[in-house]
């Protein structure tokens, strides 16, 4: 029976998952009483919260969701499942992480993990305001609301146990630079890039401490991607390859994130799982065939340079599993499989 489960999960996670033993992942989760996964962040982990907002940062239409169950667009900024869905599946909690603002969210789903993430959001609350999406402050407010709801279902003590044993995943930051600092004039007039990074780190520390005060004891921190490799950015910056200037900003920001995590770990008494996606994504973009891809310079939708609203109703590439990027900004499910494996490895290593 265990071997059958393992084979099925391997099929779900894809060919790149051969390095991940899902049986061991589930044994690790059981040994450490991992109760569920709580997700905070941006479009990289938003399963559809933006559907319920008055914003253009939403993708509840085809071809988004083309490879999701029943080819259904859910508001996920990809063709299928997100890395967080795949992580929750591997842990044995649920095949997908639902959006907290989903009007059809059931009480039963509250126990398996929830995403409070919002496409277009960032560590800087101004970033969310620009796109009229859910700021990280508001995501935390929704989490407190969720905790109260959970407490009414199982009692405050049991609810707190569930929260304490959960893994809190935080994935955001790209929008702070691409939608805010480099486009909007406000922050660029106030800070140099280096000082803006420090501003974001300060905001990050504040939110992590607030999460800790709410009961978070296990934090999965996802590092910054090499956003100079994003297809639309490469075109706008006139780069044939990845833009080195933007990538250097991402790399230095990751160094500051790691320094913050190192300082918070002993002071808060919190277990931190840091997932370094920078090198992984850069290597994949520069050597796509090594990871089973054929195209890494443009998206699968339309001409490869459209994203979000401009993708509505457009045709897609024939073999979506061979593309790193789904649209001109976001990854395909196939790439999220690779990212989810990296996150699971960091969980396994930290719990060992």
Which CA distances in Å does 129 have to 41, 55, 90, 284? 14, 10, 34, 33
- Of these residues, 85, 102, 176, 327, which one is catalytic? 327
Cβ-based neighbour number of residue 199 at 10 Å:
17
Q: Give the CA radius of gyration of the chain.
A: 19
Please tell me the distance from the alpha carbon of residue 122 to that of residue 261, in angstroms, as a whole number: 18
- Of these residues, 17, 43, 44, 321, which one is catalytic? 43
Residue 43 among the catalytic residues:
yes
Torsion of CA 51, 54, 58, 59, to 10 degrees: 60
Torsion of CA 43, 85, 345, 229, to 10 degrees: -30
Apex CA 61: angle with CA 121 and CA 146, to 5°?
Answer: 45
Residue 212 among the catalytic residues:
no
Tell me the three state secondary structure of residue 334: helix
- Of these residues, 17, 85, 102, 330, which one is catalytic? 330
Please tell me the distance from the alpha carbon of residue 292 to that of residue 289, in angstroms, as a whole number: 5
CB 66 within 8 A of CB 320: yes
Please tell me the distance from the alpha carbon of residue 182 to that of residue 172, in angstroms, as a whole number: 16
Which CA distances in Å does 65 have to 113, 301, 337? 20, 12, 15
Active site residues: 43, 327, 330
């Amino acid at each position: 029976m265990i071997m059958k489960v393992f084979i099925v999960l391997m099929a779900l996670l894809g060919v790149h998952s051969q390095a991940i033993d899902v049986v061991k992942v589930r044994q690790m989760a059981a040994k450490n009483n991992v109760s569920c996964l709580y997700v905070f962040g941006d479009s990289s982990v938003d399963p559809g919260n933006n559907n319920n907002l008055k914003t253009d940062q939403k993708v509840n239409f085809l071809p988004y969701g083309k490879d999701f169950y029943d080819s259904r667009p859910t508001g996920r900024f990809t063709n299928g499942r997100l890395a967080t869905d795949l992580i929750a599946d591997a842990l044995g909690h649920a095949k997908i992480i639902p959006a907290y603002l989903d009007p059809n969210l059931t009480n039963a789903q509250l126990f398996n993990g929830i995403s409070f993430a919002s496409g277009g959001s960032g560590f800087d609350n101004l970033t969310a305001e620009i796109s009229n999406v859910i700021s990280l402050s508001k995501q935390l407010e929704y989490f407190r609301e969720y905790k109260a709801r959970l407490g009414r279902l199982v009692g405050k003590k049991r609810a707190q146990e569930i929260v304490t044993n959960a893994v809190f995943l935080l994935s955001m930051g790209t929008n702070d630079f691409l939608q805010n600092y480099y486009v909007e004039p406000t922050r660029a007039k106030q800070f140099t890039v280096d000082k803006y990074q420090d501003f974001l780190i300060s905001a990050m520390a504040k939110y992590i401490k607030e999460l800790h005060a709410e009961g978070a004891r296990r934090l999965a921190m996802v590092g910054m991607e090499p956003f100079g490799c994003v297809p639309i950015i490469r075109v706008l910056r006139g780069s044939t390859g990845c833009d080195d200037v933007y990538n250097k900003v991402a790399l230095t920001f990751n160094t500051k994130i790691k320094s913050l995590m190192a300082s918070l770990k002993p002071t808060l008494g919190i277990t931190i799982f840091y997932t370094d996606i920078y090198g992984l994504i850069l290597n994949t973009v520069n050597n796509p065939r090594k990871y089973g891809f054929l195209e890494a310079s443009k998206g699968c939708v339309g001409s490869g340079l459209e994203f979000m609203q401009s993708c509505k109703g457009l045709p897609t590439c024939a073999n979506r599993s061979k593309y790193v990027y789904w649209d001109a900004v976001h990854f395909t499910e196939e790439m999220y499989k690779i990212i989810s494996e990296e996150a699971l490895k960091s969980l396994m290593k930290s719990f060992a």
